[in-house]
């Protein structure tokens, strides 16, 4: 009787060990999987592996894009309500009631700083959402009213005209300590027509090409720009961007 009980105990113990081993291999063979289109799975995966998820970054980028859209509409509303149809600086939008009284480029949306770039005649605008965190991406809106993802480009100057404008601006920076407005007629003589847009303090400028639209006249070509604060060309992506 005693011998039979010993064999039974051993069998039960062996069965328990086998179940534990089997469960271990089942878990190891089916790692957690997450998809960017299923945030709940992302949260589960993040908790399982003790790694941060990107939902916060997606939300910050979404908020930045939404803010740019609102600012673009505010610019359009402001310009359409004035006979000279001029676009304006952030402080002008604040003074006109489009933004909160204490709004600044750093407070419009979290983890981004939004810079207004406007040409000397105020005929257009480019608003750049510059990320304050390395994991975030840059965004832009112009009078075209499309919010674009900006991606740094490895390309050099598209042609000698772009290179000449950048060289002139660099000379101005060395000589005056800030950038200077460039003769508009000279820029209009180029093919394609080029245009410089500046921040209010003239400490940064944006260089873009203008293309002729038979309905709206000359409009910015948002597919490629140069921003001095980035010290590089950036490609504007007009496709729908997934979070």
Helix (H, G, I), strand (E, B) or coil at 153: coil
pLDDT, tens digit, 9 for 90 and up, residues 59-117 = 999 999 999 999 999 999 999 999 999 999 999 999 999 999 999 999 999 999 999 99
Cα(232)–Cα(59) distance, integer angstroms: 27
And the tokens for 70? 């609102």
And the tokens for 97? 């009631």
Cα(197)–Cα(118) distance, integer angstroms: 5
Cα(16)–Cα(10) distance, integer angstroms: 10
CA neighbours closer than 13 Å in the CB half-sphere of residue 67 = 28
Widest CA span in the chain = 109
And the tokens for 3? 């011998």
pLDDT, tens digit, 9 for 90 and up, residues 137-181 = 999 999 999 999 999 998 899 999 999 999 999 999 999 999 999
């Amino acid at each position: 009787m005693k011998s039979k009980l010993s064999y039974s105990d051993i069998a039960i113990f062996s069965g328990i060990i086998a179940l534990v081993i089997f469960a271990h291999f089942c878990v190891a063979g089916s790692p957690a999987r997450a998809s960017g289109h299923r945030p709940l799975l992302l949260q589960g995966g993040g908790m399982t592996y003790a790694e941060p998820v990107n939902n916060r970054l997606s939300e910050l980028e979404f908020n930045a894009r939404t803010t740019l859209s609102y600012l673009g509409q505010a610019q359009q509303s402001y310009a359409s309500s004035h006979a000279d149809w001029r676009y304006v600086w952030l402080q002008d939008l604040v003074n006109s009631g489009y933004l909160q009284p204490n709004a600044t480029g750093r407070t419009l949306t979290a983890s981004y700083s939004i810079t207004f770039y406007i040409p000397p005649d105020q005929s257009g605008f480019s608003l750049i959402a510059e990320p304050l965190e390395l994991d975030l991406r840059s965004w832009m809106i112009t009078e075209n009213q499309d919010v674009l993802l900006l991606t740094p480009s490895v390309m050099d100057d598209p042609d000698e005209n772009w290179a000449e404008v950048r060289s002139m601006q660099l000379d101005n920076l060395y000589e005056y300590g800030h950038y200077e407005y460039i003769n508009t007629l000279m820029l209009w003589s180029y093919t394609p027509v080029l245009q410089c847009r500046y921040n209010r303090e003239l400490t940064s400028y944006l260089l873009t090409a203008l293309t002729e639209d038979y309905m709206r006249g000359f409009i910015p070509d948002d597919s490629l720009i140069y921003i001095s604060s980035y010290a590089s060309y950036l490609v504007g992506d007009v496709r729908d961007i997934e979070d």
